[in-house]
Chains A and B, each alone.
Chain A
Amino acid sequence: MSKVTFIEPSGTAVDIEVADGWSLMQAATSNGVDGMEAECSGSCACATCHCYVESHEELLTAPAENELAMLDNVAAERRPNSRLACQIKMSDALDGIVVRLPATQV
């Protein structure tokens, strides 16, 4: 288990212990975190689990081509640290990662 901190659109920080191998999207939706839509449930086909990665960014695997293409469709501002939460899998190395959720996903 590793810890992830989600910052909801309201600014509320929510700490969650996540099993290794789970995606950040799974962690957020299974724990009722605000600001996560995930309409396609993790198939990298909707761009509604958009997040801003605020720490550990250097430890993440770079986004694959399909994620980059899908990031063109995010509803909120796309920033350099924009990612799709369904494509980031938790591991010990990411323990303590901080992820901010945008005001809108659709």
Chain B
Amino acid sequence: MFSFDPYSPAVDADPFPFYKTLRDEHPCFWSPEADMWVLSRYTDIVTALNDWQTYSSASGNLMTELPNRAGSTLGTSDPPRHDRLRGLVQHAFLRRNLEALAEPMRAIAREAVGEIKDAKEFDFIGDFSSKFTVRVLFAALGLPLGDEQTVRDKAVLMVQSDPKTRAKGPEHIAAYNWMREYAAGVIAERRKNPQNDLISHFSMAEIDGDRLDEMEVLLTTTTLIMAGIESLGGFMSMFALNMADFPEARRQLAANPELIADAVEESLRFNTSAQRFRRRLQKDVTLHGQTMKAGDFVCLAYGSGNRDERQFANPDVYDITRKPKGHLGFGGGVHACLGSAIARIAIKIAFEEFFKVIPEFHRVEADLPWMPSSTFRSPLRLVLARG
């Protein structure tokens, strides 16, 4: 009897065989362990993403939601409230407005890779990507230096869930509460002394006299910090993993950094860190012979849609020449990732600098310690050795 439990370590480690069975045999699957439906085919996921009236985000979008978060962030609200929030913060995230960050990002990447240039072996995450992402985020958001390590640790903890209780544990909720307090402090400081940075801008942003309310500013800032550190870092570690596992691709990229952008898109398709998000049905929907009821939660398994052979030929092959348009690596529909432009720029710069110093490397551990998370997938540690 087939089961799909997004809380199981087996799914954390390798969800792809489960996804294949889901797509082929149970395209509209009820998971008692997750207490929700699972949609796994590309077309079904895209249809759901483009129908927010039916598939609502207002009851939360993380598979295991944090307390009192739903409704006050971009990812957990529906239009028209969502569009209003997004309109207020989007400006800072447009590609044309991010160019000023490119040089600071490059300096951060150089510094971070410089710290491991003589190491024979290093943890890509602890020794490089977490330093890079936290420093980039601090630069982008104008956060005061000094707390970087703690902020990073809390951001990573708050996206996890307890595999035994299938819920957020006290340590995850404590991390989330810590982050809210931290964000509240930064917002208060920026309101008192506005700077030319994102938090200053959007905590006071106004469109036609409309401002974000306190909870929206607070929880949106909290989410931006979480996404900026954890999501960017998680994806960078998946990209590094692919570069270790596919040496041919890595050598092409090291020789021709122009190809990094295509490899990033293929990695977003092949094994994006944003594996599963959820929605809640606003009306009954019948799909593949199953009737899902209004009020039911639905998991949209982006990672599965990205491997759907109905959409992508030879989906289990990592092919940097594929140029996979329409992949779900950043989600889709109105909630497609706000940070996609900054993430693409940051990853490209990070790896341009990384390959200059460390063009040849391989994985040390065959089995990786995977983060326990029902939503995201990335390793907790990725030890790489030179050569």
Give the interface of A toward B (CB within 8 A): 22, 26, 29-34, 37-46, 48, 75, 106
Contacts and interface: CB of A to CB of B under 8 A. Distances in A.
Interface in B83-112: 83, 86-87, 90-91, 93-96
Tell which of A26, A37, A43, A45 has the most Cβ of chain B within 10 Å: A43
Contacts of B324: 32
Given A40-B94, A43-B79, 10 more contacts: A30-B46, A32-B326, A38-B336, A39-B93, A41-B333, A42-B83, A43-B82, A48-B94, A106-B95, A106-B96
A40 B95 CA distance: 11
17 contacts: A22-B50, A30-B326, A31-B325, A32-B324, A32-B326, A33-B325, A38-B336, A40-B86, A40-B87, A40-B94, A41-B86, A43-B79, A43-B82, A43-B334, A45-B83, A106-B95, A106-B96
Interface string B264-276: 0000000000000
Contacts of A22: 50
Contacts of B154: none
Given A30-B46, A32-B326, A46-B90, A39 B334 contact: no
4 pairs of A and B residues whose beta carbons are closest in the complex: A32-B325, A45-B90, A32-B326, A41-B336
B334 A41 contact: yes
Contacts of B332: 29-30, 41
A37 B96 CA distance: 12
A45 B326 contact: no
A39 B94 contact: yes
Interface in B111-141: none
Contacts of B285: none
A67 to B, nearest CB: 12
B91 A45 contact: yes
Contacts of A26: 50, 333
B8 interface: no
Interface of B: 46, 50, 79, 82-83, 86-87, 90-91, 93-96, 324-326, 332-336, 340-341
A45 B50 contact: no
Given A41-B334, A43-B334, A44-B83, A34 B50 contact: no
Nearest to B90: A45
B95 A43 contact: no
A34 B325 contact: yes
A43 B50 contact: no
A46 B86 CA distance: 10
A45 B336 CA distance: 13
A39 B90 contact: yes
A9 B125 CA distance: 40
A26 B83 CA distance: 15
Contact of A43 (B83, B96, B325): B83
Given A32-B325, A32-B326, A39 B95 contact: yes
Nearest to A36: B325
A41 B50 CA distance: 10
Nearest to B95: A106
A106 B341 CA distance: 11
B39 to A, nearest CB: 15
A40 B94 CA distance: 8
B326 A40 contact: no
B266 to A, nearest CB: 14
Contacts of A34: 325
Nearest to B88: A45
Nearest to B327: A32
A39 B83 contact: no
A49 B334 CA distance: 13
A40 B333 CA distance: 10
Contact of B87 (A32, A33, A39, A45): A45
A48 B340 CA distance: 14
Nearest to A31: B326
Contacts of B91: 45
Nearest to A105: B95
Contacts of A37: 95
A42 B324 CA distance: 21
B157 to A, nearest CB: 29
